[in-house]
Structure 1
Amino acid sequence: MDRKTYTAKVAELRPLREEIGKAEKTVAAAQAALDKLNLQRARRITELAGYEGAKADAVAKASGLSVGDVVRIAPLLDPTPAAVRAAKTDDQSAAPVEAPKAEPVAEPAVAVAPVLTRPAAVVEQSAPAAPETEAPIEVEDQAVVEQPAPAVAAVAAPVVPAASVAPVAVVDRPAVAAGPRELPTLPEGPAGARFEAVTTGLVSKRPNFVQQSRSTVFLDAATGDLAVRDRVVRLDLGARTPGEILDAVLATAPGTERVYITAGAPWHDGAERYSTLKDAVAAWLNTPSPRWTTAVGSGRDKLAGHFVHQRQPVGRYAPAAAPDAGTVEIRSIGEWFDADGADVAVCRQAFTLLWQALRRHWDDVVLMGSPSQTGRDLWTRTIPTKGKWAGGYPVLSEELRGLLHATGGQGRTELILPPRVPEQLPALVEYDRTFAYAKHLWKSPVDVPVRITARAFAAMTQAEQTKALMRCSHWNIRVTVPAGWEHVGLLPAPVTGERAWVYPSEPGTTFTTWAGGAEVHLALSNHLMPWRVEILGGLVWEDGDPLDSWGKKLKAAWGDLTNLSKIHGDERQRQAAYLASRAVRSVLLFGLGGFAQRPRLVSGTTPVGEALPAGVEILGQDESVVTWQRQAGFSRDPYAHPEWAAYVWSGARAALLDTKYRQGKEVVGYAGALHAKPGSVVYFGTDGIALTERQPWPYRGEPGDYLLKGHLTGPVEHPVSQEQYLQLRGLGRAELAAEQAPGGEQR
């Protein structure tokens, strides 16, 4: 080809480019039209599901879909056997319980928030959910999952007198050793100014270095199988003490720096000899070894000593002959995902797929020891290099961080007992919000908040009040449950004891609390009945998007892995991709919790006979060392942003009650507890709900959608404890899996 021909060919590309551009626009417009038509069809199918005599096969034929596709859109159209369909929910209303009385107190000036009508044009307050683990967890620097809510008989004592309610007989249930807990408020004068300030010299900055990867292997402590690089070998682990495990691993894979235990939980060996599981774990971590000693750590980012946790401990060891030679960690794979029987090769492949999926969005990604550490590191690499926040995000004052820690709860965990629900449940149906927290990262508070007093709020116009409530905000409020309310509670009330928060629902109950704007807005605008909310004060931030880029990248990685887990031709690769997608969820979940920067729990060891550090709690002792833990308080963490975690958690709790399905700006459907019948909600579990009947909530596979996870056919005895509920939940998941398996009975 000569130059003249080359030039002519290049010129021919330009009109072709224009034609391709036109064609792409035509395809995009056609796709948009197709999506709109598909949505209209789904909406029609959902409407038809409300007719008692609707048949899935007839709807499928008319709509041009398969029966399976119709059922996925409208679960109520499942061709359930007549005997099961006849088991309808006993629509009992919760009998009112006499609200505890309190002495009148002096009330500050307040303003009653305006009742917001449901059609109001507002931006949806999205927010994420918390881990699937129901028990309280504090895994090193990861998010702290709050104590599960045990069964309660009555609401905590209100702060101001509640309306008189006639007493009724209450069924026997476990006693609750919890009373009202006084929450902090914003002080006046110079002290209050610290709540509108940042910490001097503390800014979240983009790192100028790349994390160093660590040589990692995967060990099944039950079988001795070790996955190292591209091979699996069988080890003799002896008595499965830390020293014997490390000796066996290092002999086969020299240079190993991190060992993930995928099965076998050796830290539970001999647990029956100890009063608590934590004591057993501490004793195992500190088992004497002639060749290994507890690592003392060095450098700002290297933690010293072991982390004692019932199920997911972290052991850090160094060679006894050369303690400064380096650290080897023993960790649980459960920090990342539930291996659920996967072998070590699949677990290793899951980490490979996880790294590859994240690598598409972060060139310098390194999988660190925990998902919390990984999530925070990945977020720092999304801090903008241009614009207002190019220099980083300032860290709020310690006083304000302490306020948010004390007043911003995490996920809602609540078991609802009779008489608010039937003693005999017609069924136990579990719904789980898919990748829930990822739904709520598009907007977050930034900069220093502006304090809004009760008088200042009262002086606003109604439009200004509504706008303030819909901003990134945190409100000190007095709440009254309206007369005639028959559904679940909407706002958290503080209590002491094992539970940090309860959700009052008895009409006339009044309590004082803090809540995010998403929850306050829902209480005022829900479609059932507006609640009375009095504003005592609040903090309003500038709306920003510091988590948006981080969240979008994690959602994209999750979506890639989720799709791979469905379409890959190899079953083991599908399993590995699924586990990797769960790991992405943990990165987001625990990474978000890491922003909360709650007071850290630090554990360590001291030789017997030496003085213990001040303020420690002794966890255990053997002939050589004492194992202890203590609260370390708040640190000068440049990545502490509890305002982000609190805002997301608040939005997630609101979405658990009321979630909107949107097509563009149009709301095309609703889901959540408030859209189920009163008396049908049995349990809240951070990002899931258990009910007594199935709901017509469409599932699109998108973050925030409600996925049917379990169905236990009734009648079912109502669980009286969280442990009983979790057992029933497991049975329900197994039953649903069996019916969805090939050849299984389809509902």
Structure 2
Amino acid sequence: MDVQSYNAALTELRTVRDKIKKVRADLAKLEAERDQQITQLATYDKAKAERIAPAAGMSVADVVTLVPALAPETLAGHGAAPAQPPAPEDTAVPGSSASQPAAQPGAAASVTDAAHQQPAPSIAAPTPLAPVAAEAPRSLPSIPEGQTGDAHFSHTANLASTRPNFTQQARSTVFLDTVTGVLVHRNQTHRLDLGNRSAGAILAAVFHTIPEGAERIYITAGDPWHQDADRYPYLRDAVAAWLNAPIPGWRTDTGRGRDRMAGHFVHARSPVGRYQREGGEQHVEIRSVGEWFDADGDDPATVRDAFVLLWQALRRHWDDAVIMGSPSQTGRDLWTRTIPARGQHADGFPVLSEELRGLLHATAGQGRNELILPPRVPEQLPQLVEYDRTFAYAKHTWKSPVGTPRRITAATFAAWSEKEQTRALYGCGHWQVRVTVPDAWNHVGLLPAPAPGERAWHYPAEPGTTFTTWAGGPEVHTALTNPLSPWKVEILDGILWDDGKPLDDWAKKLKEAWTNLSAQAHFQGNPQQARAARLASRAVRSILLYGIGTFAQRPRMVTGTTPRPLERDIPPDAEIIGFDDELITWQRPTGFSRDPNAHPEWAAAIWSGARAALLTQRHREDDACAGALHTPPGSVIAFRTDALYLTQPQNWPHHHQPGDYLLRGQLTGPLTAPTTEDELLALRDAGRAALATGQEA
């Protein structure tokens, strides 16, 4: 670029800047007009937020925030359930294997979218709560008092995880790069003309090339569902339009078989299109291989080889193993095949009452994601060093809750001896606690708290701060016995299970498969096969990670579209998530399904253990400790699920075992401390590239 073109580009950039400024001003004006109209509507004595929200294109919560008087009575005094990070299909919303819910009139619906040991100090008795601040955090639900709450401590009648008595059927699969048109079917490679890359064009090209058809089409590159993204206000709108475009001779699948999957799965990044041929028995799925791993430019043949290696590795441990559409489905199916055929749990694992499942959904968060800002960290960082816990969740599956849960009230806990209290916190429990940060504390927060505003969780660290929250036993024990200074923790209520090993056999087999594939990737001389083995090992990780997510069984969401003229037919509890000139796209919760494999207590225990290990974990064989609390104050920049970002490298043990801290990136400063997630991710990518370059050199 020369000086003339540089100056011309600057002029063009200023023009774009001015256009953006004008559009933002227009948008602000329209939003102000909308808010004014909502306020006027609220003066009507029968006005309801459920009716106003769809007309305004807002959620009920946003309308109530604007006009608190419109709060529905059923929501008054209750905090919203914490948001969960987006996850691949069947992870965020297990239960999508159920039949497609009935659509509203004129609407098309589809199912949519995881310690350092010291003597424990005495635990304080409950004290009165401090006055509520001006910006109060949302309150988490509690267990009702008396017999009403005690009745929650049971299992759902006639609902339990049992060993399947059938063999899962494999589905014929092809791998398609929609950029190059290369299709791999078994050992054959074809090049297709995909036309406009619509779902219809893909089906026509694949079935023309493979007359016998395919039941699953994995897209390895191209993301064709994003091709018209610039025409829609939201990415999900573009995906929904791509999935729902009419295809002559095909219609939306209504489900089949023992594991019925009905309707399209609308997800911004990893959607699933399910189609059935009109008047025939042919069913086919179009889905992204990104659910399993990041292909990152790998050709379809390499991806095919990765799935072959994955299947071979699983077959060494399950003689009836079948790779299903997603890692979460596969993980769930493989786990059910480890349920004992005889012995203590031969009758299966009963599912908790819906009340306890709802409580765990609302109070048990997933990974810790926190960016720490100046002045708690330096504005100029000497380095940014990334440590990632290898196959982290596999470290925390050796013990899980089983049996009928018991309620442990504050009085019961206080009456126990210190030994009994410690044993309970070491056990499988979920505790409602009031926490006080020590006066001299100068490090990161230890326990999750319900956060103000839209964020789900934060981690208070300001000395003297008191808050009430729910946390798992590993985190509570870490707060009490951390290597710096014990926190004050008051037990207000709790749920305690017996210790069991329902996931141990499943996780051990997956860890062995992962170890075997990782070794193949390291020692394989053929670069393509080495890469395929690497991808297969990542797929095993996804099977365990998202398999655990399916146990959480969050409430289902149904996504639908309604023509603009039929706007009044939108369900009153629906949230508008997108619209264009012809259709309104909405979503609404439908509660918990009768999923026999719903065990949020298992997911909650694993997530709590993983969050605690980010703070401190002991390596007995090395007589060493690792984690955020073993770094100097002010050196932790961020947490991201199972990764730590620090200002200096650490000499932590790494033996290629699950849970070990692996150095993933290192970027030398001085660097401006990131203040947004995008800035952090940019530094992370640069650090990984810098480390890889240094290792290659």
Q: Which TM-score band applies after superposition, normalised by the shorter structure? A: 0.7 to 0.9
Q: Select which of 230, 242, 254 maps to 1:272.
A: 230
Secondary structure of residue in 2 paired with 1:236: coil
Of residues 77, 85, 88, the one that matches 1:136 is: 85
Structure 1 residues 235-269: Cα deviation after superposition (integer angstroms, max 9, x where no partner): 11001000001111111123201111111111111
Residues 594 and 393 (structure 1), Cα distance of their counterparts in 2 relative to 1, 3 Å cut: same
User: Are positions 1:679 and 2:634 aligned together?
Assistant: yes
TM-superposition CA deviations, 1:2-44 (whole Å, max 9, x none)? xxxxxxxxxxxxxxxxxxxxxxxxxxxxxxxxxxxxxxxxxxx
How far apart, in 1, do the equivalents of 2:304 and 2:679 lie? 34
Alignment partner for residue 696 of structure 1, among 651, 658, 667?
A: 651
2:396 to 440, 443, 455: 440
Matches within 5 A, 1:493-532: 493-532=449-488
Measured after TM superposition, the shift of residue 552 of structure 1 is: 0.2
Equivalence for 1:572: 528
User: Deviations for 1:580-607, whole angstroms, at most 9, x for unmatched residues?
Assistant: 0000000000000100001122334567
Aligned: 1:660 with 2:609:
no
Q: Distance in 1 between matches of 2:230 and 2:490?
A: 52
Matched AA of 2:652: W
**1:192 has 2:149 as partner:** yes
Structure 1 vs Structure 2 CA RMSD: 2.4
Checking the alignment, whether the CA contact within 8 Å between 1:519 and 1:650 is kept in structure 2 is yes
Q: Secondary structure at the match of 1:282?
A: helix
Give yes or no for the alignment of 1:733 onto 2:688.
yes
Pick the aligned partner of 1:183 from 140, 144, 147: 140
User: Could you give the per-residue CA deviations for residues 310-364 of structure 1, whole angstroms, max 9, x where no partner exists?
Assistant: 1111111122x32x52321110111000001111000010000000000000000
Of the structure 1 ranges 671-680 and 625-634, higher mean CA displacement relative to structure 2 is found in 625-634
Query: Quick check: 1:282–1:620 contact (8 Å CA) kept in 2?
Result: no
Task: Specify the alignment match of 1:39 in structure 2.
Answer: none
Percent identical among aligned pairs is 62
Residue 290 of structure 1, CA deviation? 2.2
User: Which residue does the alignment assign to 2:206?
Assistant: 249
Give the letter for the 1:161 counterpart: A
1:260 and 2:218 correspond: yes
Say whether the 8 Å CA contact 2:382–2:647 is kept in structure 1: yes
Check the 8 A contact 1:138/1:309 in 2, yes or no.
no
SS at match of 2:402: strand
* C-alpha distance after superposition, 1:159-204 (max 9, x if no partner): 933999xxxxxxxxxxxx9840111112122211222111111111
Structure 2: state its 5+ residue gaps: 1-82, 95-112, 115-126
Structure 2 residue 208 is the aligned partner of structure 1 residue 232: no
Cα distance between partner residues in 1 of 2:269 and 2:678: 16
Residue 633 of structure 2: SS of its match in structure 1?
Answer: coil
**Deviation string for 1:255-310 (max 9, x for gaps)?**
20111111111111121111111111111112232233222334563222211111
- Matching of residues 3-22 of structure 1 within 5 Å: none
In structure 1, the residue matched to 2:668 is 713
Match of 1:152 in 2: none
In structure 1, how many angstroms separate the alpha carbons of the residues matched to 2:128 and 2:237? Answer: 40
Aligned partners of 1:296 and 1:619: how far apart in 2?
Answer: 24
Letter in 2 for 1:719: P
The aligned amino acid for 2:517 is L
When residues 250 and 135 of structure 1 are mapped into structure 2, their CA distance, relative to the original with a 3 A threshold, is farther
Q: 1: distance between equivalents of 2:521 and 2:302?
A: 13
The yes-or-no answer on 1:476 pairing with 2:435 is: no
The equivalent of 2:491 in structure 1 is 535
1:401-420 equivalences under 5 Å are 401-420=357-376
Deviation at 1:714, TM superposition (A): 0.5
2:246 is matched with 288
Q: Distance in 2 between matches of 1:163 and 1:402?
A: 26
For 1:396, the equivalent position in structure 2 comes to 352
1:644 to 602, 608, 616: 602
Q: Who is 1:369 aligned against?
A: 325
**Which SS does the other structure have where 1:473 is aligned?**
strand
Moved more, 423-432 or 267-276: 267-276
Structure 2 distance, partners of 1:622, 1:301, is 34
Q: Distance in 2 between matches of 1:255 and 1:178?
A: 58
2:328 aligned with 1:328: no
Shift of residue 684 of structure 1?
0.2
Q: In structure 2, what is the Cα distance between the partners aligned to 1:355 and 1:397? A: 36
Q: 1:344 maps to which residue?
A: 300
Are positions 1:216 and 2:164 aligned together? no
Measured in 2, the distance between the counterparts of 1:704 and 1:162 equals 41
Q: What is the CA distance between 1:574 and its match in structure 2?
A: 0.4
SS in 2 for 1:645: helix
Residues 236 and 622 (structure 1), Cα distance of their counterparts in 2 relative to 1, 3 Å cut: farther
Q: What is residue 315 of structure 1 aligned with on the other side?
A: 273
Determine the structure 2 residue equivalent to 1:169.
none
Contact 1:710 1:735 in 2 (8 A): yes
User: In 1, Cα distance between the equivalents of 2:128 and 2:92?
Assistant: 30
1-structure distance, mates of 2:286, 2:550:
21
Which one-letter code corresponds to 1:226 in the other structure?
A: L
Deviation at 1:417, TM superposition (A): 0.2
Deviation at 1:628, TM superposition (A): 4.1
The reply to whether residue 562 of structure 1 matches residue 518 of structure 2 is yes
Distance 1:485 1:162 in 2: 22
Q: Which residue of 1 aligns with 2:28?
A: none
How far does residue 631 in structure 1 lie from its aligned partner after superposition? 1.6
Indicate if the aligned counterparts of 1:194 and 1:400 stay in contact, CA closer than 8 A.
no
Please state if 1:381 is matched with 2:337: yes
Equivalent residues of 1:710, 1:729 under 8 A apart: yes
The structure 2 residue matched to 1:161, chosen from 130, 136, 142, is: 130
The answer for the alignment partner of 1:204 in structure 2 is 161
Counterpart of 1:248, as a letter, is A
Q: Does the residue aligned with 1:390 lie in a helix, a strand or coil?
A: coil
TM-score (norm 1): 0.75
Tell me the distance in 2 between the aligned counterparts of 1:427 and 1:682: 10
- Give the Cα–Cα distance (whole angstroms) in 1 for the partners of residues 243 and 562 of structure 2: 14
Q: By how many angstroms is 1:624 displaced? A: 8.3
Rg (Cα) greater in structure: 1
**Taking structure 2 as the reference length, what is the TM-score of the superposition?**
0.80
Residues 316 and 613 from structure 1, CA distance in 2 versus in 1: closer, same or farther, beyond 3 angstroms?
A: farther
Q: 1:303 corresponds to which residue? A: 261
How much does 1:668 deviate? Answer: 1.1
Distance in 1 of aligned mates of 2:562 and 2:184: 34
Report SS of the residue matched to 2:689: helix
Deviations 1:61-81 (A, max 9, x none): xxxxxxxxxxxxxxxxxxxxx
Once residues 208 and 196 of structure 1 are traced to their aligned partners in structure 2, the CA distance between those partners, rounded to angstroms, is 30
2-side partners of 1:534 and 1:370: how far apart? 42
Deviation at 1:222, TM superposition (A): 0.8
Q: Assess, with a 3 A threshold, how the Cα gap between structure 1 residues 417 and 608 changes in structure 2: closer, same or farther.
A: closer
TM-fit CA distance, 1:573: 0.4
Change (3 A) 1:341 1:542: same
Counterpart CA distance in 2 for 1:144 and 1:427 is 39
**Cα distance between partner residues in 1 of 2:628 and 2:128:** 27
